[in-house]
Amino acid sequence: MMTKLLVAYDGSDLSKKALEEAMHQHHDGDQMELHILKVVSPDGPYSNPGLYHSIENSLVEKAKEDLQLMKQELEEKYETITVNTEALTGDPGNVISEYAKAHDIEMIVIGSRGLGNIKGWFLGSVSHRVVQQADCQVMIVK
């Protein structure tokens, strides 16, 4: 049986826990298709669109490099897991939900809060939006 999971990953401790929890969902002998998605967007207001896009492109390229290393490590460790990685831009909650729909994801695993600017919320705005918009199960890790 093939399981399709999506981990929303931003490098925060909770997103690392979300990845660990996704790996706990894997049972020996079962096939798993693991999608690791990082959504990037430059912080701060930029009056120069060219500068914004340059920074955005740099962030995407760095994220792709980091995700590629994660993919290699996971595929070496687990023979029955296929890892797909993607770095995209946009509103994280929307992008994660849309990606899950487009790839027929069965479950999204996401940290309760990420690296956002507001740390005081009991449930982060991204995870809240994903819960509201997703057509599949969502596991929130804290």
Residue ranges of domains in the chain: 2-141
At the topology level, CATH places domain 2-141 in Rossmann fold (3.40.50)
- In eight-state DSSP terms, residue 131 is H
pLDDT at 130: 94
Q: Are the C-beta atoms of 138 and 129 separated by less than 8 Å?
A: no
Single pTM value for the model: 0.88
pLDDT along the chain (142 residues), means of 10: 89 93 84 95 76 89 96 92 96 95 97 59 73 95 91
Q: Are the C-beta atoms of 35 and 25 separated by less than 8 Å?
A: no
pLDDT at 27: 77
> Could you tell me the sign of the dihedral formed by the alpha carbons of 99, 102, 103, 107, in that order?
positive
